[in-house]
A and B are shown apart, each in its own frame.
Chain A
């Protein structure tokens, strides 16, 4: 029966996505209630971030992810977007101190999923991998910091600020093959979002622990088919975990991470509810302290004429003189996996210029 359940969970749960709007479980099942009865811990406004521990997994929480987006350029100056994400979905909670189950029993306390995508010249390459936890096939460790699923991996070099991300998809030497091999240099301390890292996701208090590394230099190579492209640029890395991410009834979210040419960074998101939205964000001025943006401090307006998935947005933060137009390049950037969603680089115009990434989930056209 567990196989049926597992399959159902994957198909209809978080990983596979019940993207029917308005279900009680919310978008992608992320609104599943957490409570003492299921044993999962739920973070709140009093929860503190602890480093480096929080780079590693949180098995007492239901859901978490490691998420990297990069806005790169080829040697020819052409923009290239790139994304790598690894998710962990717990089926059974476990304390950090509790020993992991014996791999020989093929335990199923957690399922892992990895996504990777490359966006270049209006084309989008996407791959997805799944694994069960505690075997060694997928996992994450703090020291050294590494996250892996099969041969897709983020590893740390000699210095803890030097990272490598490697992804290979398909059979080498074929037209469908694509891969990337990146060297990352992390600059700056982690930026805690919300209240000391607790990022509210609704007015009623659901939320997650959320921090980002917003200043990462990237060099490396991207292989698309039989072509190898040297690339360089900047990346944004998110860490987020929770046991009840969304409020029941929330249908999806719109998320933006922007590198402005002024050196400032901006993260903004909104969660679409049956009536209205819940918005939040963080303004990270160059050389200054990050400032959390309350729901009333930012405005996000989609250009609904663009199609079922809004690929042009107006983002305003009046308190900081920000009035931006965010535009995805032409093309379809749907990550067409078990749970389809939109993930694309954006260009920023308006009061500031720059680049960034946009993730849109829960639209019926996806």
Chain B
């Protein structure tokens, strides 16, 4: 028998431990691979879009019609260097592909190379030959014509516009991905704790084997080497299925994820190539090795920090430093580092705190049975410290994410309700004179009794702020009435709506205000159709729908020659019916068909899209919680099994099996409940960090802080369920014979 097979024989005797390690590794690898795959793909997509369309212009038709191949041919035959760019979202897919014509791209870089477009390769995902892209069954398809720099002038039927795959959202999309990364690092930390706990257990149980091997002349160094080899084998066995499951998980979540990126950041997701499995494989292997190697580093750590009294002080210092960092950090990564410090400190303090509690319990209990119980509680908390910390972290994470999701849903729903307060929304057809409709509505719907309405005109503008020019979307509203004045505002001057209606100022959306640090009262030089107007900011309104900067003004402030991109009417008919209104407008505009949308249907659709927004974070937290719960269950069971001999002593003392089970049940419930109870303040703290610190940095908007005690109760019930399951497993064990532990080790159950 070799040293290696001797070591491995442990798992023959304890197959569940081997299985537990393998399952933990597999699930953690799957989770990590899934998230890493999605975030890497999104990053590739963002990066590629930015590189490809940097400072580029596109051609649009002046009449607003969609571009076709005929437009491309017409422009090329005029000698203009344009290149087709056909974006296709294939049916049933969540990521777009881009059809390009490398032959047409030749004029972008001169002669010699057809495979690139301004130095960027056009081969490989997301690029296809444009004929193949056009042949796809498309859920969405749009042709862009990109214009080479310095080309012109265009024929009069065309104009240029900046070409960007996503608006300049001030790195918001990237921050969102960083957010997910941080969450996955937390998952990694929790997994590390769980792996470490199972591994320590196996080490302690193999102490006899190690002693035997030492007597046979096998050096400690060689044993450690073989233990590492054992872990590498475990990694090799679990990584492949883990990565496979992770990729499957990513493909399930992909649709929702792409919707998030598109919905929140207007970032159209491109099908990028690349298998993102190498990093998860390396990270998981390193994690597993770290779990083992930390033992070798421990003596050094002990030297560096002598005396157990200093450790709680150091942990408390970590927490304080972390909290200060959380408060002060102005970059997302710094915030995450600070948060990690807080978590590390709390993880260190938690077992110590529970141990102190147990000591106090022992001292306070007069009855020997309870003294025993408190002492046993202390032993359990010390020995199950790692899985308990993991459970605490995952419970806190679930709690925080859940609070964020519910708050977001409530806030978003309320916000959408305000935005879509009109019953219907009607698009002004191309070429129709909206003034005719406005005059008719003014005449026939003069008060709310007849019905409410307003006219929205959209276009673009720019303003100068601290020397730099900022492009913004402009929304001009006429009249500013009850359909709008119910909007919640984050910050406002007195009588903001009246002032807006009189043209005495503008309102800006939260994203723009956050990005440029705008406040109410700031004076902005707004340029519309080359006319400069200096206007104060009257209010900042929340905007969860779009990341682009937005300015709201009164319709009367628009210059006469302002170039509108879109016009609509919002209508809430009362005594004058919708049929009467639409009939009149059809006649006025000479349009037999009008595009009318029911705002309730839009709201439902928007809610569905945003429902998917947090599917990913929910999935992550729930899976992590499941991981922690299963690990604790396994650990609790294995550990309590080693205490069986002592529990039997209770029988010797005269307690019945039912009484012993009650003690055990209480013990298991107390331990898991303590972890859950300690998770509550941590979870609330994390919620605050998410809402007030991470969200503004990652999304550009903040949410009101809210707590949900019902959900706390649900989590406490879950903790009790885990404790109950451990106790039930123990009940089975109690019926089996138990031997007195033969070694006195601090990691085994041998502690009095």
Contacts and interface: CB of A to CB of B under 8 A. Distances in A.
Interface string A124-144: 001111111001110000000
Interface stretch (B95-103, B341-349, B383-391): B95-103
A136 B84 CA distance: 14
Interface string B74-88: 001111000010100
Contacts of B129: 2-3, 6, 108
Listed residue (B106, B133, B150) with the most chain A CB atoms within 10 angstroms of its CB? B106
B112 A108 contact: no
B69 A131 contact: no
Contacts of B76: 131, 137, 150-151
Contact of B114 (A2, A7, A136): A7
B135 A105 contact: yes
B128 interface: yes
Nearest to A171: B150
A10 interface: yes
B72 A130 contact: no
Interface residues of A, number: 34
A106 B114 contact: no
Contacts of A132: 101, 103-104, 131
A130 B134 contact: no
A131 B82 CA distance: 12
Nearest to A103: B69
A100 interface: no
Contacts of B86: 106
B122 A3 contact: yes
A168 B77 CA distance: 11
A168 B101 contact: no
B72 A135 contact: yes
Given A131-B103, A337-B111, A151 B128 contact: no
A151 B130 CA distance: 22
A196 B135 CA distance: 43
B68 interface: yes
A10 B79 contact: no
B115 interface: yes
Contacts of A4: 123-124
Contacts of B738: none
A108 B135 CA distance: 12
A263 interface: no
A337 B112 contact: yes
A104 B70 CA distance: 8
A338 B104 contact: no
A106 B150 contact: no
B107 A10 contact: no
A111 interface: yes
B132 interface: yes
B83 to A, nearest CB: 11
Contact of A106 (B78, B84, B112): B84
A357 to B, nearest CB: 21
A151 B132 contact: no
Contacts of B133: 106
B90 to A, nearest CB: 15
A16 B103 CA distance: 12
A11 interface: yes
B127 interface: yes
B659 to A, nearest CB: 73
B73 interface: yes
B132 A3 contact: yes
A1 B133 CA distance: 11
A2 B133 CA distance: 10
Nearest to B73: A136
| A interface, over-half SS | mixed
Given A10-B114, A106-B99, A135-B72, A151 B79 contact: yes
A168 B103 CA distance: 18
Nearest to B106: A130
B84 to A, nearest CB: 7
Contacts of A129: 106-107
Interface in B100-155: 100-104, 106-107, 111-112, 114-115, 122-124, 127-135, 150
A135 B143 CA distance: 15
Given A2-B129, A2-B131, A7 B115 contact: yes
B603 to A, nearest CB: 36
B111 A338 contact: yes
A111 B111 contact: no
B153 to A, nearest CB: 11
B76 to A, nearest CB: 5
A66 interface: no
B77 A150 contact: yes
Contacts of B123: 3-4, 7
A331 interface: no
Nearest to B130: A106
Nearest to A132: B103
Nearest to A10: B114
Nearest to A7: B115
A168 B132 CA distance: 32
A107 B130 CA distance: 8
Given A3-B123, A104-B69, A151-B78, A11 B115 contact: yes
A181 to B, nearest CB: 13
Interface string A159-183: 0000000001001000000000000
Interface in A56-92: none
A149 B135 CA distance: 25
A3 B103 CA distance: 10
Contacts of B84: 106
A151 B77 contact: yes
A209 to B, nearest CB: 26
B270 to A, nearest CB: 15
A148 interface: yes
A336 interface: yes
B128 to A, nearest CB: 6
B128 A130 contact: no
A11 B121 CA distance: 14
Interface string A107-126: 11001000000000000001
Listed residue (B69, B73, B124, B133) with the most chain A CB atoms within 10 angstroms of its CB? B69
A80 to B, nearest CB: 22
Contacts of A104: 68-69, 134
A151 B150 CA distance: 17
A341 B746 CA distance: 83
Contacts of B130: 106
Contacts of A127: 111
B102 A131 contact: no
Contacts of B114: 7, 10-11, 16, 130, 338
Listed residue (A6, A10, A11) with the most chain B CB atoms within 10 angstroms of its CB? A6
Nearest to A130: B103
Interface in B433-463: none
A127 B70 CA distance: 25
Nearest to A127: B111
B72 A3 contact: no
B112 A338 contact: yes
A44 to B, nearest CB: 32
Interface in A16-38: 16
Listed residue (A108, A128, A137, A337) with the most chain B CB atoms within 10 angstroms of its CB? A137
Contacts of B70: 103, 136
16 contacts: A2-B132, A3-B100, A3-B122, A3-B123, A3-B128, A7-B123, A10-B102, A104-B68, A106-B69, A111-B103, A130-B106, A136-B69, A137-B73, A137-B104, A338-B111, A338-B114
Nearest first, the 10 A-B pairs at minimum CB distance are A151-B79, A130-B103, A3-B129, A136-B73, A106-B130, A2-B129, A106-B131, A108-B131, A7-B115, A150-B76
Given A103-B73, A136-B77, 20 more contacts: A1-B132, A7-B114, A7-B123, A10-B103, A103-B69, A104-B68, A105-B134, A106-B69, A106-B86, A108-B129, A128-B111, A131-B76, A131-B103, A132-B104, A136-B69, A136-B73, A137-B72, A148-B77, A151-B79, A336-B111
Interface of B: 68-70, 72-73, 76-79, 84, 86, 99-104, 106-107, 111-112, 114-115, 122-124, 127-135, 150
